[in-house]
Amino acid sequence: MTKPKMAVIGSGSWGFNHIRTFYALPDCELVGVSDLVEKNLERVKAQFPEIKIEKDYQKFVENSDVEAVVVATSAETHFQIAKDALLAGKHCFVEKPITLDIGEAKELVDLAKEKNLTLMVGHLLLYHSAIEYLKKLVDEKTIGDVLYIYSQRVNLGKVRSNENALWSFAPHDISIMLHLINSKPVKVSATGQTFLQKRKQIYDVVFFTIYFENGVIATGQVSWLDPHKIRKFTIVGSKKMVTFDDMEIREKIRIYDKGVDASNVTYDSFAESLILHDGDIKIPKINLSEPLRKEAKHFIDCISKQQKPLSDGQNGLDVLKILVAAQKSLENHGKPEKIQGI
């Protein structure tokens, strides 16, 4: 079987990671890179001289040798580039968020389906070994039923002028929340504030809460204006509690044998009949592998085996629906918004 030939469109700070990763992957052949900025293309040429570089991405979209493209441009350009690629019969990996508009994302999902092409979205953390481990813990009910989840993704980091902290960071947290909570998200509320780019209404910090049909809530804090660098998930279950701290080098997951048991509950002495248990903390050994490489390999595998990606276009659309509702809530000072059709 021949290796699929690929092109990466967008070689900015994140796109370059895709170039490095797909180039090193033995299952495909990275033949081209496109970017509008000459300096970015020169950087690619200097490191990977055999890769063809073009300012105009259409050169790769129109090239019948190219089977798949990676779209790692800024979010507002994802739709047009991915649409052109799918129309030309290319499998397509699109960075998160899939698009900025629900109708446009739906169009991409339908187009991929109609043309029998792979459409995958860059929800990178779904390919993190620690998240795979958490998923197993949740599905096997090791921690009991999930009661609530909260996440923090904060940093003093890259301040964007074309999207706010919600759109920049929360796709990761939302994709994990949808992955772990086996229920339909129904409502979202979000509050936040603009400090650095008030005129453009770019929110630097956002707090959001997603309400699920089964009563689980998942809340997230995202910010690029924070003294700490935190990338942490906490899951409180009915039997145990677990944290995933991505800033830890090795001990990323901790399972706390902590909880509250309700036994022999009678109506008037409910509080007294609750028994706290506070046991050991387990730190499981997790074989960590680079999520970006796993994500890239999954894309290639899905193309060659004609399988549905874990983060397929529909998953990108679901995350987008929550982002859109959260943005609306943000602009309405936290008024909860219904999430349509997930």
Ligand X SMILES: NC(=O)c1ccc[n+]([C@@H]2O[C@H](COP(=O)([O-])OP(=O)(O)OC[C@H]3O[C@@H](n4cnc5c(N)ncnc54)[C@H](O)[C@@H]3O)[C@@H](O)[C@H]2O)c1
Contact positions toward ligand X, by CB under 6 A?
Answer: 9-15, 34-37, 40, 57, 72-75, 77, 95-96, 122, 124
Please name the residue that has the structure tokens 């339908």: 110
Q: How are the residues of the chain apportioned to helix, strand and coil, as percentages rounded to the nearest 5? A: 35, 30, 35
The nearest distance, CB 37 to ligand X, in angstroms, is 4
Nearer to ligand X, 13 or 340 (CB): 13
**239 contacts 255 by C-beta, under 8 angstroms:** no
Please give the distance of CA 319 from its chain centroid, rounded to a whole number: 8
Nearer to ligand X, 202 or 255 (CB): 202
With CB atoms as reference, the residue minimizing the distance to ligand X is 12
The nearest distance, CB 144 to ligand X, in angstroms, is 31
Nearer to ligand X, 91 or 96 (CB): 96
The nearest distance, CB 318 to ligand X, in angstroms, is 17
The nearest distance, CB 21 to ligand X, in angstroms, is 11
Nearer to ligand X, 15 or 237 (CB): 15
Concatenated DSSP letters for 119-181? EEE--GGGG-HHHHHHHHHHHTTTT-SEEEEEEEEEEE----SSS-HHHHHHHHHHHHHHHH-
Nearer to ligand X, 95 or 212 (CB): 95
Q: Which of 115, 105, 82, 124 is nearest to 313 (CA)?
A: 105
The nearest distance, CB 18 to ligand X, in angstroms, is 9
- Mapped onto helix, strand or coil, the DSSP state of residue 24 is helix
How much is the CA Rg of the chain, to the nearest whole Å? Answer: 22
**234 contacts 217 by C-beta, under 8 angstroms:** no
